[in-house]
Amino acid sequence: MSKLIDPREGVRVLLMGNEAIVRGALEAGVNVAAGYPGTPSSEIVQNLADVAGERNLYVEWSVNEKVAMEVAAAASFAKLRSLCAMKQNGVNVASDFLLHLTAAGTRGGMVLVACDDPGALSSVNEGESRHFARMVEVPLLEPGDFQEAKDMTKWAFELSEEIRNLVVLRSVTRMSHASGNVTLGRLSDAQPKAEFKYDGFILDPLEGPVVSAPVPYKHTLQQEKLKRVREIFEGSPFNTYAGPEKPDLLVVTSSACTLYSREAIHVLGVKDRVGLLKLGTTWPLPPELLKRHLASTDRVLIVEEVIPFLEENVKILAAETALEIGAKTFFGKNDGTLPSIGELNPDLVAAAIAKILGIDHVAMPPDYEKKATLMSFAKAPNRELTFCPGCPHRASFWAIHHALLMDNRLGFVCGDIGCYSMAALPCGFSTLKTLHAMGSGAGVASGFGQLHRFGMEQPAMTVCGDSTFFASVMPALVNAIHHRADLTVVVLDNSGTAMTGFQPHPGLKVNAMGGDVPALDIARICAAMGAKVEVRDPFQLEEARGTLIGLLEEKGVKVLIMRQMCALSPEKRAKKKYEVQVDEALCLGETCGCNRLCTRVFRCPGLVWDKERKKARVDEVLCAGCGVCALICPAEAIRKEEVA
């Protein structure tokens, strides 16, 4: 049984932040959950889906984040409790609906879990979701440890029902993907019946229609709800203070930065001088609590990641109450005490505190640091990201790269988000030349496809994954076809949302809960829209490349679907199709024509260049047995043999 549905109250277990959020939702009696995969949020919906049967939930991977939020909202309107989870970029996608939703209000408890990725550890930007709470005027909660991740999620549903509006819970990678001990609470046994009431008075929040009109009335109501939230937050146990009554320096923080700040104070040994005000409720700020603490000192350091959101809000409050609390010196991102980009860690916070207090702090003896740094540069060769051994994308981009070279018109590829974003790197032969949001490759290429009238002769191409196709490429494709753009679309169909761990999508016959669902056929959809469609296996390199060269020469919108399962898909893992070996007698290596084509250019990690022997070799542990390198080798030195 999953520990997430362990019925034993009071037991302490090790949970990942995302699992703690899931447990909190289950203790709150969540009924419906929806989301779209995106690191670091994906485990939330996935884990809920895994226990959907036992807990009688409905859980889906929606086609995109906006639809996920709409699906979760419907449950709330029918007086159920619902959760939607997404990474920060997804909140952008959902934000149009978010504004409408929060203006109209909710019924059953509804929580949006937004997971940010400071430092862009697994993202292409450092987007930030906290400001959405301020923008759409709803409460924001930020857990500061794993226990809180659970407890706060549970409470978020109650708060949402108290004010009849959405509550945003914001996590970050170092919370979502870190783990810690959590004491379990009681699982809910509520079994509510869904019913949507709509024929009450228009202003009735529970029985009238769900609309944001009349706007002056509803907007006023929304702001009154926020005032109520402010009062509730004044007494919240998620806001804590540790330190002396009159600290030399007050550190105000939230989220994973709580753990960094606590550790920094410990490392510096300054707990008698520095106070730590840890806020779990970061919007709207509870003014009385802040006033009390700000009045106790005249130096304040605000510790947070990405934009100075907390810093600005604290400063506004301090300005408004300056006569009561006196003048303060603020330290944080705005004055450069803390870096304004990237994620924080205990050392950065310790350095900031040490600087403010004038403490000499040496984290590592300088001699040792110098030696270790030199050693690391000289002896630990950099590990560039690359496609997995046997990844179909490597083969697809090999075909694309060579087709574009042979086409000889300086064609290029517009990309978006997925494992295939890495095709901007040498592992994808640096094929991607633009890289933006989900679906943007097709949109941008649709625009390029109109520029021939200005003398542009370069053919425009775009790639997208199968999950992305459904999420956001379809509207761009409609646009391109309708406006007669010239463009070639390559759909890298690897049967799943590989980057985030194989969540199903509308092209597959199975849903998040393991149920049978109809699969939508990308090829037929594109054909119905009016595109010319071809389907190829990228492992058949020659054929794939030949098809692509043909398509590049045609006008209009052409779609090539490269169909081959991801190397890590559960069906493929640990099952080699081919046993692959290099025949040393035939390997030309450096001595002749090929100049190590396989290892120098194709660069599959399953291939190794043996410096001493001056021969290529296949690493039997890493090789996934796809057999593609055997097609690359001009000397036919790489031999593949089908595994029985």
Partner 1 sequence: MGTQTLSKDPFNIIITGVGGQGNVLASRVLANMLVHRGYDVTIGETFGASQRGGSVMSHIRVSARGAWSPQIPKGKADMVVSLEPVEAIRVMKDYGNEEVRILVNDRPIYPVGVIAGELNYPARDEIEGALKDLSKHVWFIDATEEAIRLGNPILGNVIMIGAACGLGILPVGRAEFAEVMKGSLAADKLEINLTAFDLGAAKLAATA
Write out the residues near ligand SF4 by the rule CB under 6 A: 389-390, 580, 582, 587-589, 594, 596-598, 604, 606-607, 616, 618, 623-629, 633, 635, 637-638
Determine whether 125 is exposed, middle or buried from the number of CB atoms within 10 Å of its CB (0-12, 13-18, 19+). Answer: exposed
Can residue 615 be called a binding residue for partner 1 (CB under 8 A)? no
Among 451, 478, 549, 601, binds partner 1 (CB under 8 A): 601
CB of 609 vs ligand SF4, minimal distance in Å: 8
Q: Look at residue 582 and give the partner it binds from ligand SF4, partner 1, none, a contact being a CB closer than 5 to 8 Å depending on partner kind.
A: ligand SF4
Among 7, 216, 358, 381, binds partner 1 (CB under 8 A): 381
Of the candidates 199, 201, 296, the residue with the CA atom closest to the CA atom of residue 252? 296
Q: Look at residue 371 and give the partner it binds from partner 1, ligand SF4, none, a contact being a CB closer than 5 to 8 Å depending on partner kind.
A: partner 1
Can residue 259 be called a binding residue for partner 1 (CB under 8 A)? yes
3-state DSSP assignment of residue 46: helix
3-state DSSP assignment of residue 612: coil
Q: Is the peptide bond before 7 cis (omega within 30 degrees of 0)?
A: no
Distance between CA atoms of residues 173 and 22, nearest Å: 16
Q: Look at residue 538 and give the partner it binds from partner 1, ligand SF4, none, a contact being a CB closer than 5 to 8 Å depending on partner kind.
A: none
Which residues have C-beta within 8 Å of that of residue 316, sequence separation ≥ 6? Answer: none
CB of 346 vs partner 1, minimal distance in Å: 4
Among 334, 450, 540, 599, binds partner 1 (CB under 8 A): 599
Among 322, 375, 410, 586, binds partner 1 (CB under 8 A): 375
**Residue with smaller CB distance to ligand SF4, 134 or 402:** 402
Helices 257-268, 346-357: axis angle to 10 degrees equals: 50
Among 295, 608, 632, 635, binds partner 1 (CB under 8 A): 608
Can residue 591 be called a binding residue for partner 1 (CB under 8 A)? no
CB of 263 vs partner 1, minimal distance in Å: 4
Q: Look at residue 623 and give the partner it binds from ligand SF4, partner 1, none, a contact being a CB closer than 5 to 8 Å depending on partner kind.
A: ligand SF4
Can residue 256 be called a binding residue for partner 1 (CB under 8 A)? yes
CB of 623 vs partner 1, minimal distance in Å: 12
Can residue 368 be called a binding residue for partner 1 (CB under 8 A)? yes
Can residue 40 be called a binding residue for partner 1 (CB under 8 A)? yes
Binding mask 198-227 for partner 1 (x = CB under 8 A): ------------------------------
Can residue 623 be called a binding residue for partner 1 (CB under 8 A)? no
CB of 562 vs ligand SF4, minimal distance in Å: 16
Q: Which residue is nearest to ligand SF4 (CB)?
A: 606
Among 36, 132, 146, 412, binds partner 1 (CB under 8 A): 146
CB of 408 vs ligand SF4, minimal distance in Å: 24
- Three-state secondary structure along 493-546? ECCCEHHHCCECCCCCCECCCCCECCCCCHHHHHHHHCCEEEEECCCCHHHHHH
Beta carbons of 87 and 95 less than 8 angstroms apart:
no
**Residue with smaller CB distance to ligand SF4, 465 or 625:** 625
Q: Look at residue 638 and give the partner it binds from partner 1, ligand SF4, none, a contact being a CB closer than 5 to 8 Å depending on partner kind.
A: ligand SF4
Distance between CA atoms of residues 222 and 136, nearest Å: 10
CB of 579 vs ligand SF4, minimal distance in Å: 9
Q: Which residue(s) pair with 32 in the sheet? A: 58, 82
Can residue 426 be called a binding residue for partner 1 (CB under 8 A)? yes
Can residue 596 be called a binding residue for partner 1 (CB under 8 A)? yes
**Residue with smaller CB distance to partner 1, 136 or 172:** 172
Distance between CA atoms of residues 389 and 106, nearest Å: 48
Binding mask 161-200 for partner 1 (x = CB under 8 A): ------------xx--xxxxx-------------------
Among 14, 203, 242, 528, binds partner 1 (CB under 8 A): 14
Can residue 152 be called a binding residue for partner 1 (CB under 8 A)? no
Distance between alpha carbon 162 and the CA centroid of its chain, in Å? Answer: 30
- Burial call 487-526: b when 16+ CB within 10 Å, e when fewer: bbbbbbbbbbbbbbebbbbbbbeebbbeeeeeeeebbebb
Distance between CA atoms of residues 29 and 81, nearest Å: 7
Using CB under 8 A as the binding rule, the residues of this chain from 553 to 572 that contact partner 1 are 568
Determine whether 323 is exposed, middle or buried from the number of CB atoms within 10 Å of its CB (0-12, 13-18, 19+). Answer: exposed
Tokens of 397: 């981009």
CB of 613 vs ligand SF4, minimal distance in Å: 11
- Burial call 342-369: b when 16+ CB within 10 Å, e when fewer: ebbbbebbbbbbbebbeeebeeeeeeee
Q: Let me know how long the chain is.
A: 644
Distance between CA atoms of residues 407 and 8, nearest Å: 65
Diameter over CA atoms, the chain: 86
Can residue 85 be called a binding residue for partner 1 (CB under 8 A)? no
* Residue 272 DSSP one-character state: T
Can residue 242 be called a binding residue for partner 1 (CB under 8 A)? no
Q: Which residue(s) pair with 497 in the sheet? A: 503
Of the candidates 396, 382, 387, 429, the residue with the CA atom closest to the CA atom of residue 607? 387
Beta carbons of 629 and 582 less than 8 angstroms apart:
no
Can residue 39 be called a binding residue for partner 1 (CB under 8 A)? yes
CB of 209 vs ligand SF4, minimal distance in Å: 58
Among 8, 186, 227, 371, binds partner 1 (CB under 8 A): 371
Of the candidates 301, 263, 47, 231, the residue with the CA atom closest to the CA atom of residue 149? 47
Tokens of 26: 């289950």
Tokens of 385: 């990201």
Residues at the interface with partner 1 (CB under 8 A): 12-14, 39-40, 117, 121-123, 145-147, 173-174, 177-181, 256, 259-260, 262-264, 267, 345-347, 350, 363-365, 368-369, 371-373, 375-376, 379-388, 419, 422, 426-427, 568, 596, 599-601, 603, 605, 607-609, 621-622
